[in-house]
Homo-oligomer: A and B are copies of this chain.
């Protein structure tokens, strides 16, 4: 039997949904306005770029960006078709492969950040004082920390 949340807990949840929806839609609008791909591409490219030259296994990516396996599979298809990543058979494990970013992928990631970063600043940085941002970061971190184990999508 689950416990009932207080009014404040429900309010915090509702405001989190709303705040994120507002921020996300303004960020996506900014990206589209600059003729750039959606945010999901950024997340994937960023993690793949961080993995460097050896590349990264899809199942690793899956955990880092919290995307279901089949979902990631098709996102990688699109990124590959557009020339932003390359797939190569894994030496260690015959079942899988490794994904690496290309030069144009790095370039796209950089261009996306030049739009994404100011949009984050506008949605968060300009609406709270530095101390408030720090407090918010701390509270959200606490929410994430305790659920490290729990599933993402699958």
A126 CB to nearest B CB, Å: 8
Assembly CA distance A126 to B119 (angstroms): 32
A151→B5 contact, CB < 8 A? no
Among A66-92, those with CB < 8 Å from B are 66
Within 8 A of B (CB), among A118-154: 118-128, 130, 132-137, 139-144, 146-147, 150-153
Q: Within 8 Å of chain B (Cβ to Cβ): is A111?
A: no
**B142 to A127, Cβ gap below 8 A?**
yes
* Copies of this chain: 2
The residues of B that contact A13 with a CB separation of less than 8 Å are 23, 120, 123-124
Interface residues on chain A, size class: 35 or more
A20 CB within 8 Å of chain B: yes
Given contacts A135-B139, A137-B11, are A118 and B4 in contact (CB under 8 A)? yes
| 5 closest A-B pairs by CB | A2-B118, A15-B140, A12-B137, A5-B121, A9-B125
Instruction: Using A8-B134, A12-B136, A139-B139 as known contacts, list a sample of 14 further A-B pairs with CB atoms less than 8 Å apart, ordered by residue number in A.
Output: A2-B121, A3-B118, A5-B117, A6-B133, A9-B121, A15-B140, A16-B136, A16-B140, A17-B20, A18-B140, A19-B143, A26-B150, A135-B139, A136-B140
